[in-house]
Amino acid sequence: MDPAAVGRLLSFSLYEGLVYGFLALGVYLTFRVLAFPDLTVDGSFVLGAAVAAVLIVDGVNPFLATLAALGAGVCAGLATSLLNTKLRIPALLAGILVMVGLYSINLRIMGRPNLPLLREVTIFSLASQLPGLETRLVYQLVVAVVLAVIVFFILNWFLRTEIGLALRATGDNEQMVRGAGVDTDKTTILGVSIANGLIALSGGVVAQAQGFVDVNMGIGMIIMGLAAVIIGEALFRPKGVARLLLAALGGAFVYRLVLSLALRAGMAPGDLKLVTAAIVIIALAVPYLQKRIRREWLPPAPRW
């Protein structure tokens, strides 16, 4: 591979890693920060894409449409977390219920299973008109970096605020949080909503980048997000809020890079989901198997 091709591959993976990185950040927020196994992802990702696409087709400013995607995702997260906290439906089930329900909602929003965006004004087509950003790879990367920087700084600040602290503590020790006078239902609702907002934002941006929305484009997104989070943790062993956030983004980058390499090596696109599942299985199994080899005591299998 010549250096230019390597550069193209890396910057393309970086762009992909950043836009899917919002999804990874959302998954990191629920699974790791809140210890809330939220499976709404597959639905809220498409919800964001559908809302952004429909609004853009209707001629709405693409930045507003992207923000609306984020807002729609917040609503999806609200639904899941309310099912869990107010109706006491287990988190896993609440997420699956909302995810399934969202499939119908997404179809309703789009009006048909597939919606092209090719000649519409998107955040990417707007960026491509700026001087120096004419090349597809460059403007895609610039938009992704700008969005990622904004999201990173907001999250990095938020998770250190008084409310953000309560949110992090909720996933760490719920009893302690209630003991400090905080309603853990509220922190859960807030956290799951923000996470799904990020996931839908990811969907909205991806839809604009690839130029279409498909009602099935969310399948396996939760596993992709998990893969990114796990890879990030394994590679960067992060400590502290900022590094954990960067690790999620970095994990998404590495994951997309691996997929791009697999495609270049001649793997059929349809097989990528299996590869993703295999990555997550290996990443989860390796620490366990290491302990087995060292004959350490092991707790029983967790139920979620």
Q: Name the residues that contact other proteins, by CB under 8 A.
A: 157-158, 160-166, 168-169, 171-173, 175-184, 239
Per-residue tokens: 150: 């904004």
269 DSSP assignment: G
For residues 79 and 85, what is the distance between their CA atoms, to the nearest angstrom?
Answer: 10
Secondary structure (3-state) at 303: coil
Q: Which is nearer to other proteins, 169 or 258 (CB)?
A: 169
Q: Which amino acid is at 215?
A: V
Q: Pick the closest to residue 198 from 35, 18, 36, 54 (CA basis).
A: 18
Q: Which is nearer to other proteins, 183 or 271 (CB)?
A: 183
Q: Is 71 exposed, middle or buried (0-12, 13-18, 19+ CB in 10 A)?
A: middle
Contact present, 86 and 192 (Cβ < 8 Å):
no
Contact present, 228 and 20 (Cβ < 8 Å):
yes
Shortest Å distance, C-beta 162 to other proteins:
4
How far, rounded to the nearest angstrom, does the alpha carbon of residue 73 sit from its chain's CA centroid? 11
If one counts every other C-beta atom within 10 angstroms of the C-beta of residue 73, the result is: 32
Contact present, 282 and 234 (Cβ < 8 Å):
no
Shortest Å distance, C-beta 152 to other proteins:
16
Backbone angles phi, psi at 214, to 5 degrees: -120, 135
Shortest Å distance, C-beta 184 to other proteins:
7
Shortest Å distance, C-beta 150 to other proteins:
17
Shortest Å distance, C-beta 21 to other proteins:
22
Q: Which is nearer to other proteins, 13 or 170 (CB)?
A: 170
Q: Which is nearer to other proteins, 160 or 273 (CB)?
A: 160
213 DSSP assignment: E
Q: Which is nearer to other proteins, 175 or 266 (CB)?
A: 175
Shortest Å distance, C-beta 45 to other proteins:
27
Shortest Å distance, C-beta 166 to other proteins:
6
Q: Which is nearer to other proteins, 126 or 185 (CB)?
A: 185
Q: Which is nearer to other proteins, 144 or 189 (CB)?
A: 189
